[in-house]
Structure formats: structure tokens, C-alpha cells
Chain A
């Protein structure tokens, strides 16, 4: 075997070893690589009270209740759902612009004794679709997209020409 060929094989073997080691490490630390837990995760593996963590999912349509507390700050209560289960979250403060019903959200905080979640931070999590508002409206008007639901498959709309509305 020539020296070049030997070097090639050594490198490929090292790469294989490194890849395997990385994959094993990542699998072992899976739990700490997760940025948030879903309500179903929490039902399967309950968190001890008073331990801070993040919960994520969609803001359940129709669940948002806004109010103003004694100090005049905005209070919001809503349900975070992953489809199967949901968790009641309360938050005091200003929400990000993208916080909307049916949209993704990640709340940081801890569980209360009554099982609801007291959020200290609320982050909006948007989906990966990008389209002009006119196209979104056209899809909703045509009944291809139910309000509060995720957008329909991209192939349906990514070349759609929206009717001129303005």
C-alpha cells in the first residue's frame, strides 16, 4: 500500500471513529440537548416542582385570556398543546409580536402546586413557511387552510399567484 493510500485509510477510519463517538455522545446527552419539553413529555416524565424548565407547543386556539393585574401589568393565560395533551400557562408581561393562537410558543418557568405553569419568559416559535399575506388570505378564503391550524403542504401554495388585493 502506498503512503498516500495508507494516509487515506487512516483518515477514513479516524473519521468513522469520530462520527460514532459523536453519535453516541449526542444520544447520551439527548435530554439536555432538548430546548423544551412538550406537554406529552411532561405527562410521561413529570418534572419536580420548583425546577425551572421550558415547555413548548402551540397556543391552543381560543384559549388565550388577557387581563390586567393590580399593578396595571398585562397578564395572559393560555393553553400550550401538542395535539395530545395541553398545559395551562400564565405569564405577566409583554408577549413577543408573533405570539398568536395556533402558533408555536416556548415558555420558560416552573410548575405551580396546582399543576399549571408559571412562565417567567415567553418566546414565540414560528413555523418554516414563508409566503406573502395575500397568498395566506387566498388559501384561507378557498378553505385550504383552517384558521388556527398549521399551513397546508407547501406544494399547494409555493407557486400560487395571489389575486391582487391592494
Chain B
């Protein structure tokens, strides 16, 4: 069947078989990575050098072109983590577990970018680096959820045994997503309500909205490229582990290799 990418390890270990994924991801990854770089560059250069100032925030509005796409990826990444975890728990699909393991560090980095740039934006505009309002606090919780997932998956020697507890953690943490999104509507917060993702017309002028959407698309490609790369790495690492285990088992008892 899907032969070339997964030759030897396959018969030894069920996690060493996503050969089709390796083939497909290998083919699309360079394109996704190039789009990530090019589209992000267009969005950020546009935002930094060509988009207009804002009527109330002046040039600090340019922080939005990194802050908001990073926030979208932080939340979208966690949604992806939750979906992968759900798939992993219900259908025990090995790729889903690998996807979850690979998304968490990338999501954590995007969340960190969101928090740091938000702080750099809050100081000149709000007058503070940080407040414990519902929006900021729930995004900080999101960051800790990502870190917890990373810590949990790396605490196990056998990656397959980490899959279930990590998936349960990811799914419990998913209640935080609606809290982040609606925190600005449900409670009084220092953070303003949504400007783009709302039911009526976006409260962002097109001259500011376009570079924002392009930067967002670029970040999405960048996110996807890094996750794909990390998934490939995880698959290779698990194959290497399976090969090593097989060799070790063979050295001990040449005829009794576990199937």
C-alpha cells in the first residue's frame, strides 16, 4: 500500500505508519512555509509602513498587526489542539495524537507573542502593562494550558502513554476558549470588545482591516508550516524510538520480538 515513506518501522510499531501523511506533508510543506513568510511579510510591512494611523491610538495601532493575528492563532491553535485530542481519544488515531503534541509548543509561542505585544500596547494606551481583567487573565490561563500540555507530554518516557492524559487536559482546557472570546461581553474589562469577529459590520476601517487580515492569513500559513514540520519530526522521533526498541529487544532475545 502506501509504501515508500514508511519502510521498515511499519511492521514493528503502529505509530510508525503514517506514510501517506509524510508523503503529502513533505510535498506541501515548502509551499505553506513560503506562503507563511511571504504573506506575513506583506501584511506586516503594509501595517508598519503603509496603513494609516488610528484616530485615537496614533501609531500604536500598528502593534495590532502582530497582536491580533497572534491572538487568533493562540485561540485557533487551541481549538486545533482540542479537536486533535478529541479525535485521539475517540478514534485512537495516531496522527491526531501526533498533531496535538506538535500544536502545543507552537500555540504557546503565539500566545506568548500575543501577551507580550499586548503588554507593549497596553502601556502607552491604557497606562498599564498588565491588569487582571477577565480577558487578559483568561489568555494567560490559555498560555498555562499550553505549557501544562507540553509538560505532561514530555513527562512520559513512552509518548503513547502520554496521549490520553494530555488529551483529557486539552479538552478540559477548551472551556477557556468561549471564556476568552466572550469575556469582553460578559464582564466589564479594561480590554475593549471585539472589533473584527462580531455580528455586525467590523468596527475597523478597510485601510486598517486589509493589512490585518493579510497578516492574519500569513500567520495562519506560518502556524500550519511549523506544525507540519513538528509533526514530521515527531513521527521520525517515534520511528527512531521504535527502531531502537526493536534492536534492543532483538539483542536480548533474537527470536522473541514483540509484534
- Using a CB–CB cutoff of 8 Å, the interface residues on chain A facing chain B are 4, 7-8, 11, 14-15, 18-19, 22, 26, 30, 33-38, 56, 95-100, 103-104, 106, 121-136, 151, 153-155, 157-160
Contacts and interface: CB of A to CB of B under 8 A. Distances in A.
A157 B205 CA distance: 7
A136 B57 CA distance: 12
B240 interface: no
B194 interface: yes
Question: Interface SS of chain A: helix, strand, loop or mixed?
Answer: mixed
Contacts of B126: 96, 98, 123-126
B172 to A, nearest CB: 6
B195 A123 contact: no
Contacts of B189: 35
Contacts of B64: 130
A34 B175 contact: no
Contacts of B91: 4
Contact of A35 (B52, B131, B192): B131
Contacts of B203: 127-130, 151, 154, 158
Contacts, number: 138
Contacts of A36: 188, 190
Interface of B: 52-57, 61, 64, 86, 89-91, 124-128, 131-134, 171-172, 175, 179, 186-190, 192-195, 200-209
Given A126-B125, A154-B201, 16 more contacts: A11-B89, A26-B186, A33-B187, A35-B133, A37-B188, A103-B56, A125-B192, A128-B203, A130-B203, A130-B205, A132-B205, A133-B53, A153-B201, A154-B202, A155-B200, A159-B205
B69 to A, nearest CB: 15
The 9 closest A-B pairs by CB, nearest first: A96-B127, A132-B52, A136-B55, A35-B133, A131-B205, A155-B201, A154-B203, A128-B195, A128-B192
Question: Interface SS of chain B: helix, strand, loop or mixed?
Answer: loop
Contacts of A30: 187
B134 A35 contact: yes
A21 to B, nearest CB: 9
B57 A8 contact: no
A97 B175 contact: no
B195 A132 contact: no
A158 B55 contact: no
A136 B203 CA distance: 13
A69 to B, nearest CB: 20
A158 B206 contact: yes
Which among B55, B132, B179 has the highest number of chain A CB atoms within 10 Å? B55
A128 B208 CA distance: 13
B145 to A, nearest CB: 14
Contacts of B195: 128-130
Contacts of A38: 188
Nearest to A156: B201
B190 A158 contact: no
Given A123-B126, A130-B208, A153-B200, A34 B187 contact: yes
A131 B200 contact: no
B125 A98 contact: yes
17 contacts: A19-B175, A26-B179, A33-B186, A35-B190, A37-B188, A126-B56, A126-B57, A127-B56, A128-B192, A128-B193, A129-B203, A130-B208, A133-B53, A134-B52, A135-B205, A154-B201, A154-B203
